[in-house]
């Protein structure tokens, strides 16, 4: 416990948990292959211990220390450079891998009048890609049909727009779709 500040080679004053304590908790509450969730990752101790112990894990963190602490630490764990904490006791030499994702800004923001609107971060392509992903469509803009932005199951397509759709526009798309089937 005396070298706690050196564990994982990241400084996290007054907040880092000892790897040995986390190891004991995971030994008592999980088995190899179980999923561990740490929704406030901090310095990455829980993810590091879970990785060394063969557990699957999901860690969530925001802010710059997600990069300066957690990402740095996990690269060190995977490479085997991190020999602190429980590494020697487990004969940890490195291995495995991890995925590190950064979430995009929220779709919705509030404008100067208090109305919810689509955030300006999303240009047309980003918005279409995001909507396809959210609604389980494959992003596949039609080469011929501008209104086909993605493919769903079967013959389903998705059209993403920020404009109001009139009945006439929907009927026009239906006519095009019907004509395509008849050809």
H/E element, 65: helix 65-65
Residue listed under structure tokens 């495995």: 96
- Taking residues 53-60, report their average pLDDT: 94
Task: Outline which parts of the chain fall under CATH 3.40.50.150.
Answer: 4-79
Dump pLDDT digits (tens) for 131-155: 899 899 999 998 887 778 999 998 8
- For the domain made up of 4-79, give the CATH fold: Rossmann fold (3.40.50)
Q: Per-residue b/e over 94-124, b at no fewer than 16 CB within 10 Å?
A: eeeeeeeeeeeeebeeeeeeeeeeeeeebee
Relative orientation angle of helices 45-52 and 19-29, to the nearest 10 degrees: 60
Bridge partner residues of 151 (DSSP): 138, 157
Q: How far apart are CA 45 and CA 31, in angstroms?
A: 18
H/E element, 177: helix 167-182
What's the pLDDT at 183? 54
Dump pLDDT digits (tens) for 61-100: 988 889 998 999 999 999 999 999 999 999 999 999 999 9
Q: Decide: helix, strand or coil at residue 82.
A: coil
* Burial class of residue 71, CB neighbours in 10 A (0-12, 13-18, 19+): middle
Structural tokens at position 19: 């790897």
- pTM of the complete model beyond 0.75: no
Bridge partner residues of 152 (DSSP): none
Q: Closest Cα partner for 85 from 171, 175, 182, 3? A: 3
């Amino acid at each position: 416990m005396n070298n706690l500040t050196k564990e994982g080679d990241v400084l996290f004053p007054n907040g880092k948990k000892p790897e040995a304590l986390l190891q004991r908790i995971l030994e008592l509450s999980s088995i190899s292959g179980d999923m561990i969730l740490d929704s406030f990752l901090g310095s990455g101790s829980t993810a590091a211990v879970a990785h060394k112990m063969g557990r699957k894990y999901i860690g969530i963190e925001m802010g710059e220390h997600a990069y300066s602490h957690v990402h740095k630490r996990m690269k060190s764990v995977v490479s085997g450079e991190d020999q602190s904490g429980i590494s020697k006791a487990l004969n940890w030499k490195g291995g495995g891998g991890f995925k590190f994702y950064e979430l995009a800004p929220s779709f919705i923001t509030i404008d100067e009048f208090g109305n919810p609107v689509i955030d300006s971060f999303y240009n047309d392509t980003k918005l279409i890609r995001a909507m396809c992903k959210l609604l389980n469509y494959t992003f596949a803009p039609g080469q011929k049909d501008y209104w086909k932005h993605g493919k769903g199951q079967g013959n389903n397509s998705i059209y993403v727009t920020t404009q109001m759709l009139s009945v006439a526009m929907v009927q026009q798309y239906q006519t095009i779709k019907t004509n395509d089937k008849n050809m």
